[in-house]
Amino acid sequence: MSRLLAVAAVGLLAIAGVACGGDGNGDGGGVGGVGADDGFVADIRPAIDAIESELGAGQAFFEITASRQVINLFVAVDDATAALPYVFLDGELQPPAPKLTGASGFTFAGNALDFDEVSILDAVSSELPDSTIEALSIEGGDGGTVRYVVATLSPGGGRLDVTVSSDGAVLEVDPVS
């Protein structure tokens, strides 16, 4: 399921990237290593609140992916057989994209998130100081648990998915092909 959502997220990110045109500080919107503006992580909970304000409390999510430009939220609908993609941009929930049918996989509730907004990216930034943190994805796990994955890009073009704990400790590193 995550790869299907990743493809949809790339499309939504591309649309949002055109709409927002960078981050307003003149650096092209990249999220770097140590000392970077990782404040986008703090927008995840407001994005969930906006979804639940629109659809009602207790929504189930397949995945939430946050970057400096936008937050993509994939809400499980139709008994978790479809996903309704939303974009949270500049502090506002945008109208949903068309429903993605044929979805499956684990889901989680917004109240299952237990990450530390201040430290979740710290270890990755420290261990990969020259790499760019592109996004933080939150994926559903067995029994409503969550998994936190930090997507990085090295200066040489290599990509890593770094699974971290809720406090940012590195648990696993996977190269992305």
**What is the end-to-end Cα distance of the chain in Å, rounded?**
17
The DSSP output letter for 165 is: -
pLDDT digits (tens, 9 = 90+) for 62-110: 999 999 999 999 999 999 999 999 999 999 999 999 999 999 999 999 9
Interior angle at CA 150, CA 135 and CA 68, nearest 5: 20
| Three-state SS at 20 | helix
> Does the residue 24 lie in any domain?
no
Q: Which residues pair with 101 in a beta bridge?
A: 82
The domain in which residue 165 lies consists of: 2-19+29-176
Task: Give the number of domains in the chain.
Answer: 1
> Does the residue 142 lie in any domain?
yes
pLDDT digits (tens, 9 = 90+) for 24-63: 333 333 334 433 456 899 999 999 999 999 999 999 999 9
Q: Which of 66, 69, 103, 68 is nearest to 84 (CA)?
A: 103
How confident is the model at residue 35, as a pLDDT? 37
Which is it for strands 132-140 and 71-77: parallel, antiparallel or unpaired? Answer: unpaired
pLDDT digits (tens, 9 = 90+) for 117-147: 999 999 999 999 999 999 999 999 999 899 9
pLDDT band with cut points at 50, 70 and 90 for residue 9: very low
> Does the residue 115 lie in any domain?
yes
Q: Which of 14, 102, 96, 112 is nearest to 61 (CA)?
A: 112
How confident is the model at residue 144, as a pLDDT? 87
